[in-house]
Chains A and B, each alone.
Chain A
Amino acid sequence: MDPVNLVEALEIFKRALPEDAHPLRTFLACGFTPLHLQTFLAAHLRKRLPKQRAEVKTGLFGDLAGSIERLQPSECDILAVVIEWQDLDPRLGIRSLGGWRTTDLPDIVKSANQAAARLEQALRRTSEFISVCVCLPTLPLPPLFTTPTRQAGAYELQLRQLVASFAASISSESSIRVLNTQRLDELSPAQARLDVQSDLMAGFPYKLPHASAIAELLAALIQNPTPKKGLITDLDNTLWAGILGEVGAEGISWDLDQHTHMHGLYQQFLGSLASAGVLIAVASKNDLALVEEAFERKDLILSKESVYPFEVHWSRKSESVQRILKTWNIGPEAVVFIDDSPMEVAEVKAAFPETECIVFPTNDYQAIWDLLKRMRNLFGKSVISEEDSIRLKSIRGAGVLRESLDATGGSLDDFLQSADASIRFTFAEQAADNRAFELINKTNQFNLNGKRLTEAAWKTYLNDPATFVMAASYEDKFGPLGKIVVLLGRIQRKSLRIDSWVMSCRAFSRRIEYQSLKQLFEKFDAEEISFDYQATPRNGPLQEFFTELLGSPLTADMRLSRAAFSEKSPSLFHRVEEAVNG
């Protein structure tokens, strides 16, 4: 993290913003005077997103739930909500003199429950239109309870339980992200948060470093950076302790008895990543037979099935990384490489500067612990989708497909006919989930124009009655690929206008793109489809597809008639299904 003091924040704040930059309008809702929190939040957002016009607006203070209820979703792109205890009941703050008698305590808990319910309703409603980031109460509760401050009393615990339940409930909404109080505790000590004088005199309850820490974490929540997709790990003295070639498969360890438990924790962590859809590969200079023997050990925490591919040989690590990236079909910027040898790390970093390359700190317990936390930040995601759970399987399937094509001498028709493929098309709300949004914003190769959408623009598009969203999921005998096509368009009488069209590179060579167009013509009874096409440095596969289909140079407003499509479309062997209820 990168602490910023108020002078620095004000200086960042006064820097000119790029005129043509994409705006990011954040509405900061809090019950107190936002004052320096607004400055810090704007500064941290501008540091994180220098190419955007990050602006922070605020509404009326003193009525947190009311200001969220009154918010028009068109006014902003993101809502940041900072809740303090006094928003649940004014008597939980120090500016109110509403009474701390023992007889008041049950009523405080009761009214806090009502306030939390109202807040929850307002947040859920707003999250239907824009993304919401929420910071739970951070200040100490005032000494209003009858127990000594060393002892937690029943009413205090009820209030904390209320906030925990509230947080757990709203976090189930995919558009609501809750700031992690454990992380805030690390950055901002509890005793250095409340500024009593400032709260009473200026209505701003935070000491400056605390305001900066909240703003820093909120900015990170708002930015919500794209997680890394794959991790490439070394084996000896990394995944396990010991050199396999010297001590053999039975000599390597990852347990408490041999003081090598941190390697077991590392394995356990990799298993966690794999279960969340992160791709795990091995790049090791080793004897393949020995590695296979080691992975047969029943006590290995990371299962062999979670790893694909294994690059085990004596060639350079950068060559292994190159092959792994090709197998996964992702860019070097999307992976992390971990090895205990600084030399190997340097060699990979030189070949792939965009890759996050990390030296595994063998024998340094604290450093390994810190590494696990750092990796959770690199790979962490808000929601685990169905596609995450099948990603590795579909990549293995793609490998089999390539091998099968090679084996059949390249006859795609024969191969596809025997693939037992099915495509499931979905429309409207059923199509427009997080996965669809993710595909629009990360797909490069089969992408109509490379245009990315903010969460707010995505929701605005979905709420426009003139538009439609179509998605497709695919499965064949090699396994499911999940949702791999998203298409955004609008209906114009007997023709369709396509604004966005992306298809995952995992779905290439299956004629899914033809089936998608066929579905559009049939579903909407369209005579013509026009495309908002734009060449990008990376959408070569899409350009090839259209060049073949249209037989002419591609233009920004290219059109395809139903007749021309029927003439050019190759044989399609998929079973097609349109989902009725998702």
Chain B
Amino acid sequence: MDEMETRLVRCFSSVFPDLTAEQIRSASMDSVPAWDSLAAVTLVAVLQEEFGLQINLMDLPELVSFVAVQNYVRKHKAVS
């Protein structure tokens, strides 16, 4: 697990405290009942704070799983 993934898991863990690290890595909106719109907004705020990103909330529909979030952060972190 690289440093970015560790930080991502921590972000997810703060929003979904009941999930283990393993469950987080395979998490998606479909598999995690607690991942509602409120949790999605909170997750975006946590990611912005942790990675210093400005995430457009219009991109929320893309961020539907841990893997998707990971790809999004890698892409935008590289750009910023």
A contact set with B: CB distance below 8 Å: 5-7, 10-11, 14, 35-36, 39, 197-198, 201-202, 204, 208
Chain B 25-52, CB within 8 Å of chain A: the 1/0 string? 0000000000000100110011011100
Which one of B14, B38, B49, B57 contacts A197 once the chains associate, using CB atoms below 8 Å? B57
| B41 proximity list for chain A (CB < 8 A) | 35, 198, 202, 204
Selected A-B contacts with CB under 8 Å, 9 pairs: A6-B49, A7-B49, A10-B15, A11-B14, A35-B38, A198-B57, A202-B41, A208-B45, A208-B49
The answer to whether the Cβ of B11 comes within 8 Å of any Cβ in the partner chain is yes
Given A7-B10, A7-B50, A14-B17 in contact, is the A36-B45 Cβ separation under 8 Å? Answer: yes
* The 3 residue pairs across chains A and B that have the minimum distance between CB atoms: A10-B14, A201-B57, A14-B17
Given A11-B14, A204-B41 in contact, is the A5-B49 Cβ separation under 8 Å? Answer: yes
B69 shortest CB reach to chain A, Å:
15
| B80 proximity list for chain A (CB < 8 A) | none
Tell me the bound Cα distance from A569 to B30 in angstroms.
77
Interface footprint category on B: 10 to 19
Tell me the bound Cα distance from A7 to B46 in angstroms.
6
Does B42 contact A35, Cβ atoms closer than 8 Å?
yes
| A7 proximity list for chain B (CB < 8 A) | 10-11, 14, 46, 49-50
Please give me the residue from chain B that is nearest to A9 by CB atom. B14
B74 shortest CB reach to chain A, Å:
19
Tell me the bound Cα distance from A7 to B15 in angstroms.
8
Q: Is the interface of A mostly helix, strand, loop or mixed?
A: helix
| B14 proximity list for chain A (CB < 8 A) | 6-7, 10-11, 14
A195 shortest CB reach to chain B, Å:
9
Residue among A5, A7, A198, A204 with max Cβ neighbours from chain B (10 Å): A7
Please give me the residue from chain B that is nearest to A35 by CB atom. B41
Residue among B11, B41, B56 with max Cβ neighbours from chain A (10 Å): B41
Tell me the bound Cα distance from A5 to B49 in angstroms.
8
Residue among A5, A10, A11, A198 with max Cβ neighbours from chain B (10 Å): A10
Tell me the bound Cα distance from A515 to B58 in angstroms.
74
Tell me the bound Cα distance from A14 to B15 in angstroms.
9
| B42 proximity list for chain A (CB < 8 A) | 6, 10, 35-36, 39
Chain B 5-22, CB within 8 Å of chain A: the 1/0 string? 000001100110100000
A191 shortest CB reach to chain B, Å:
16
Tell me the bound Cα distance from A481 to B11 in angstroms.
58
Tell me the bound Cα distance from A204 to B45 in angstroms.
11
B37 shortest CB reach to chain A, Å:
9
In the complex, which residues 42-73 of chain B have their Cβ closer than 8 Å to any Cβ of chain A? 42, 45-46, 48-50, 56-58
Does A6 contact B46, Cβ atoms closer than 8 Å?
yes
B19 shortest CB reach to chain A, Å:
12
Tell me the bound Cα distance from A197 to B57 in angstroms.
8
A17 shortest CB reach to chain B, Å:
14
Tell me the bound Cα distance from A201 to B48 in angstroms.
15
A16 shortest CB reach to chain B, Å:
11
Tell me the bound Cα distance from A6 to B11 in angstroms.
10
A423 shortest CB reach to chain B, Å:
58
A402 shortest CB reach to chain B, Å:
59
| B45 proximity list for chain A (CB < 8 A) | 6, 36, 198, 208
| B56 proximity list for chain A (CB < 8 A) | 197
Tell me the bound Cα distance from A348 to B52 in angstroms.
46
Given A35-B38, A202-B41 in contact, is the A10-B46 Cβ separation under 8 Å? Answer: yes
A7 shortest CB reach to chain B, Å:
5
B29 shortest CB reach to chain A, Å:
17
Please give me the residue from chain B that is nearest to A5 by CB atom. B49
B64 shortest CB reach to chain A, Å:
17
Tell me the bound Cα distance from A73 to B3 in angstroms.
49
| B38 proximity list for chain A (CB < 8 A) | 35
Which one of A5, A35, A202, A208 contacts B57 once the chains associate, using CB atoms below 8 Å? A202
Please give me the residue from chain B that is nearest to A12 by CB atom. B14
B8 shortest CB reach to chain A, Å:
12
Tell me the bound Cα distance from A335 to B46 in angstroms.
42
Residue among B14, B45, B57 with max Cβ neighbours from chain A (10 Å): B45
Tell me the bound Cα distance from A538 to B11 in angstroms.
48
Tell me the bound Cα distance from A39 to B17 in angstroms.
14
Tell me the bound Cα distance from A201 to B58 in angstroms.
8
A537 shortest CB reach to chain B, Å:
39
Tell me the bound Cα distance from A6 to B77 in angstroms.
20
B43 shortest CB reach to chain A, Å:
10
Please give me the residue from chain B that is nearest to A203 by CB atom. B41
| A14 proximity list for chain B (CB < 8 A) | 14, 17
| B15 proximity list for chain A (CB < 8 A) | 10
Tell me the bound Cα distance from A7 to B50 in angstroms.
8
| A6 proximity list for chain B (CB < 8 A) | 14, 42, 45-46, 49
| A198 proximity list for chain B (CB < 8 A) | 41, 45, 57
Tell me the bound Cα distance from A35 to B38 in angstroms.
8
| A201 proximity list for chain B (CB < 8 A) | 57-58
Residue among B14, B38, B57 with max Cβ neighbours from chain A (10 Å): B14
Residue among A6, A39, A201 with max Cβ neighbours from chain B (10 Å): A6
Tell me the bound Cα distance from A428 to B56 in angstroms.
59
* Besides the known contacts A7-B11, A7-B50, A14-B14, 7 further A-B residue pairs in the complex with CB atoms under 8 A apart: A6-B14, A6-B42, A6-B49, A198-B57, A201-B58, A202-B41, A208-B45
B28 shortest CB reach to chain A, Å:
20
Tell me the bound Cα distance from A565 to B32 in angstroms.
69
B58 shortest CB reach to chain A, Å:
8
A467 shortest CB reach to chain B, Å:
43
B7 shortest CB reach to chain A, Å:
10
Please give me the residue from chain B that is nearest to A15 by CB atom. B17
A14 shortest CB reach to chain B, Å:
4
Please give me the residue from chain B that is nearest to A201 by CB atom. B57
